[in-house]
Chain A
Amino acid sequence: MRKFVVFGCAAALVLFASASAFAGGSKEQGNAAGGQIVLATNNAPEGNGIAQALRQWGQMKGIKVEIVDAPYSNIYEKEVLDLSQGTGLYDIVLLDDPWFTQFAENKWLTNLTPYFTAMGQGGLSSDFIDKSQAICKYPYASGLIYAFPAVGNAQMFFFRKDILAQYNLPTGPATWDDVYNVGKKISDSGGGNLYGYALRGQQGNPVVADFMPLFWSFGAKMFSDDFTQVTLNTPQALNAVNFLAKLVSIAPPGSASFDADQLAQYELEGNVAMMINWPAFAASFSDPTKSKVVGKVGYSAIPSEATIGSSEIGNWLAAIPAAAKNKQGAFDFLQWATSASEQKDMALKFGNPPTRKSVFADADLLAQPQFSYFPVLAQAMGNSTPRPRIANWNEVENTFGIYLSKVVAGTMSPQDALAGAQTDITALMKKAGYIK
């Protein structure tokens, strides 16, 4: 008995000592948070731009700042862990647009509307592109403001001007039929060194992100407007997936594992004529140290088919967690960091596309060749479509991605893939409570 008492006393002492140490730590943090701003961001150019701005802000205001960065594949789970537990570790989180609905619906983010009101502003500046403003609101477009559109992004159609000019399409293909017909001729005559079209077929987010513009162009939709029905069992959806299979036949072998960087590699080496990709790669195409196609790459809107082509919007948003310790400081910084002058600075230093109309029209930037795609991107963002605004998009996207990957890999027919996706995604929507 005695040994248990001794052991218990010793254990209690250890626990007490540990608890005291932790309590001391949190008190210190609390004091420091008076002016401190902690940012969680991904360690890619878009995140590095905001991080650099925060360091500059810290020097200007004489406050301590801290950057917590992680690769894209890890930053989501880092942020979810903090937000869902309400630890208040971060004052600002940089988040990819598809995560926004989950974050806002779970009430993990701070409603920014009162902060704008306190400054005598009605909300986000009208200088921000309308579609970029819309994805910062919950519910979509009409609700309260929970984020700033920090970095602009939307897919564009990339094409080789010199090659398509030979097929009388100097400004790019207008329809998906043009893409296939010209692409087939290019692949057939390319001898394995030049392909008409390249696609991101990697399972998960890449294949879905690459496919959605095509899907929408064929007049298909994944859900009814109120998300109570999955609508993958339509003729439009089948036409789109059948067309995807046709595009695979003219794409380089191995498309089933391609992501955006592999596509960019094919473009840089001059081995592909057309693709959908993100603007982040545009600057490298005009860099002679990396590119064999300097001055030969053109940009256009997504081709149309049954409806006007529309790209997927993929802005990076900056939000303030509901449990953040320095909300006003974070808000003031974000107002400044998303101003026109700062967005121009980030474009020049990091190549980050802006979200403001005035920066897209900035004469200094437009005069530089690496920003030649700005007018097309501004148009693409203005005419973009968001991913479905549902909290379980990650899981839905993964499920759809598995079936699309099977089509790209040639192990499943488009009909079977859509039937399987319809069943599985309906089950996911029921589990999440969207479908009763």
Chain B
Amino acid sequence: MDSKRLSRWSDRNLKYLLLAPTIVLLLMLTVYPLVFALAASLQTVSVRTGERSFVGLANFASIFSDGLFWNALGNTAVYTGVGVSVEFALGLAFALILSESFLGRGLFRTIFLAPMMLPPIVVAITFKVIYMQKYGVSNWLLGLIGIKGMLWESGPQTALFSLILVDIWEWTPFMLLILLAGLQSLPAEPYEAAKVDGASWLQAFRHVTFPLLTPAILIAVLLRLMDTLRIFDQVFVMTGGGPANSTETLSLYVYQAGFRFNNVGYATAMSFVLLVLTTVVSNVFISRLRAEEVFTQ
């Protein structure tokens, strides 16, 4: 092969050669596990002998009659709904405050962002100590204002909300970060026009800030939704799903079924349901986001 032909061959094919390792690696890391999981979801493995047998869609069918699954789905929905809503409301409020100029703004920003830098496991262990019924600082503080005996993660009525509170503490800064970045990137002209038109702060927020901030809001809420739908660490460390199954989430149930009870097929089937759920919820936001982009263009 003379050098001219080699050069032509190289021009045409070098890109494929260079891309090949990455694509093979991607296929190994994404497609193979997905196909493997799909195959596993159609099988059952005996806990006594390890024998595998093909059961078709039986694992998926079992989900519908499994009370524990529906309980976990309900807990996950409450956790996601309440947690993300409060995080959004607080994140937006703090973002609006921190977008204004005042003395010590930089310090406040750093302090507000600190919780999200901590590993979730560390946060969970810390809050477990804070929530301790007799020795925890939370009940000591409440005692100072005359409230005594709060059960926190020990009570079936309060446990889920105690976990949500931890999530809010840790992840409101994430909302704050994205919304603050969104606020600071907004153009000044619409505000000047609104001011000339005599708009109040509330009117400017409602008719200028909120519509312009919508893409940032959608991204922040979407990322938090995807995260909370598969919440695991805090529940695993703080309550193990109790008391009375009041905090068992879908991810924890999938983990238990797969890794503690060796029902790999059933756990994989539930994982697919969780995947579909996350995809559907995400797509609602993604399609809205696309519409927003078209609108802004």
Contact = CB atoms under 8 A, between A and B. Distances in A.
Interface of A: 2-3, 6-7, 10-11, 13-15, 73, 76-77, 80, 84, 102, 105-106, 201-204, 252-258, 262, 265-266, 269, 271, 391-392, 394-395, 398, 402, 405-406, 408-412, 432-433
B168 to A, nearest CB: 20
Contact of A408 (B20, B241, B243): B243
A3 B15 CA distance: 10
A409 B134 contact: no
A269 B136 CA distance: 13
Given A254-B152, A254-B154, A256-B155, 12 more contacts: A15-B24, A102-B262, A204-B242, A253-B133, A253-B154, A254-B155, A257-B242, A265-B135, A405-B244, A405-B245, A409-B244, A412-B244
Interface in B120-150: 132-135, 149
A265 B136 CA distance: 12
B241 A204 contact: yes
A2 B12 contact: yes
Contacts of B149: 253
A269 B135 contact: yes
Contacts of A398: 256, 260-261
21 contacts: A2-B13, A6-B16, A15-B24, A77-B259, A202-B240, A204-B240, A257-B159, A269-B135, A271-B134, A392-B47, A398-B260, A405-B243, A405-B244, A405-B245, A406-B156, A406-B245, A408-B243, A409-B155, A409-B246, A411-B244, A433-B48
Please indicate which of the listed interface residues B134, B156, B236 has the most CB atoms of chain A within 10 Å of its own CB: B134
A402 B49 contact: no
B193 interface: no
Interface of B: 12-13, 16-17, 19-21, 23-25, 46-50, 68, 132-135, 149, 151-156, 159, 236, 239-246, 256, 259-263
Contacts of B50: 84, 106
Contacts of A432: 46-48
A102 B48 CA distance: 6
Contacts of B23: 7, 11
Contacts of B155: 254, 256, 409
Contacts of A255: 154
Contact of A256 (B24, B46, B244, B263): B244
Contacts of B156: 256, 406, 409-411
Contacts of B16: 3, 6-7, 10
A247 to B, nearest CB: 16
Contact of B242 (A7, A10, A256, A269): A256
Contacts of B246: 409
A257 B153 contact: yes
* Residue from the set A6, A80, A265 with the largest chain B CB neighbour count within 10 Å: A6
B85 to A, nearest CB: 26
B243 A105 contact: no
A394 B244 contact: no
A391 B47 contact: yes
B48 A105 contact: yes
A262 B242 CA distance: 16
A266 B134 contact: yes
Contacts of A265: 132, 135
B46 A203 contact: no
A405 B16 CA distance: 59
A106 B135 contact: no
Contacts of B243: 201-203, 256-257, 405-406, 408-409
Which of B49, B239, B260 has the most C-beta atoms of chain A within 10 angstroms of its own C-beta? B260
Nearest to B239: A257
Contacts of B236: 73
B242 A102 contact: no
A178 to B, nearest CB: 25
A271 B133 CA distance: 13
A202 B242 contact: yes
Contacts of B154: 253-258
Given A10-B20, A15-B24, A405 B256 contact: no
Nearest to B71: A402
A402 B245 contact: yes
B151 A254 contact: yes
A271 B149 CA distance: 16
Contact of A3 (B13, B46, B244): B13
Contacts of A394: 260-262
A76 B258 CA distance: 12
A258 B238 CA distance: 11
Nearest to B128: A257
Contacts of B261: 392, 394-395, 398
B132 A14 contact: no
Contacts of A80: 259, 262
A409 B154 CA distance: 8
B283 to A, nearest CB: 31
A6 B17 CA distance: 7
